[in-house]
Structure 1
């Protein structure tokens, strides 16, 4: 599998970086501009995914998983450190191919946990964000089997707490986004609302092939706006 993982550190002191971080549409466009040819989703489902992490107040990191190797020169010039910053791109496919069943990993996922509701019987369903961490975790647990993994259960779950609290995962850093998007079939603009939530936890691989698809094609909705990308780290 030919896939690349890229890490790029943004410089939040620069106007260009602040503009990109304040607009998921602009950052999406900047990521897609990193490829000489327009990225297309491959038959195996692999596509361009991206996520922004902020491990410290002054540190903001952009991660990209992509079928093709990106060139982030324009981002370094506009929103990074052009002379000393750069970016790191590594082949990701070899790592993915080595994933086997029953491996345990720590993971981070930023996603758009939503559900469809209907307030009256004849009304069309409406996509609505999950608000509470408990419902957000339940959203993830409901998708884990099809995604090829299982979030680990806590060694000693407390029976007096909701079932979602029995698992080694937390949902945090919820951020509500609102922006205007031009329609594909007309020139009118539409207001887009979405909620991004970050999950940190530990998982066990159940189905390596399905799990690889999750890592390269994303999980959930709003992938164009920084959602769906899961990354792994060795568990302690």
Structure 2
């Protein structure tokens, strides 16, 4: 896998637009990877961060294939800094990591059968704990920060559009690896839904002794 960190040009109208329309940003990022004729991009996860104090816009991207960021249309005016490195996490059973995850926690409503965002903090944390039980890790400590609704408008194949509205929660904390192989698969595939909107990337950092 590969980890990239792109700093977007905060003076660029396009960067400002795509920072508020994550699916459009996702489409731009995919330009850096092989198209379908050459095997496709593979799994690409990303997380957008906007510093409200400085106005800086950064995007962390995890990919199965090595990106060529200069393939993005208008790269020179869109990106001001680019870092990329190979990502080979060394994992062991019971290892503890710091983590960050932006997710779209949902639950299916019995009354309608539809999925809706989980707005209660206690339920959000419980959602993550259950995800951990099935994905090779255990939550040791976590803070859930409600980030509000992420809104976007998607253009359909017939050029009509429909609005999307997803609730965003950022989880920061400590986790313990309970199954190395399953956890590695989780890192590769991400957690939860709406990955094309910047959700699901689980980033980890080892605890420094």
> When the two structures are superposed, what TM-score results if normalisation uses the length of structure 2?
0.88
| Match runs of 1:77-226 below 5 Å | 77-81=76-80, 85=81, 87-92=82-87, 94-95=88-89, 98-119=90-111, 123=112, 125-152=113-140, 168-183=141-156, 188-226=160-198
Give the aligned length: 202
Q: Which residue of 2 aligns with 1:158?
A: none
Name the SS for the 1:174 alignment partner: strand
Matched residues in 2 for 1:141 and 1:224: separation? 23
User: Which range moved further: 55-64 or 14-23?
Assistant: 55-64
**Is 1:30–2:3 an aligned residue pair?**
no
Name the SS for the 2:26 alignment partner: helix
Gaps of 5+ in 1: 42-46, 153-167
* Cα RMSD for the two superposed structures: 1.9
Q: Which has the higher strand share?
A: 2
> When the two structures are superposed, what TM-score results if normalisation uses the length of structure 1?
0.79
Q: Deviations over 1:92-145 (max 9, x none)?
A: 1x32xx2111110000001110111032xxx4x111001122221111011111
Choose 1 or 2 for highest CA Rg.
1
Matched residues in 1 for 2:8 and 2:148: separation? 19
| Match runs of 1:54-69 below 5 Å | 54=50, 57-58=53-54, 59-69=56-66
CA shift for structure 1 position 77: 1.9
Q: 1:145 to 1:197 in 2, by over 3 A?
A: same
Q: Which residue of 1 aligns with 2:48?
A: 52
Gaps of 5+ in 2: none
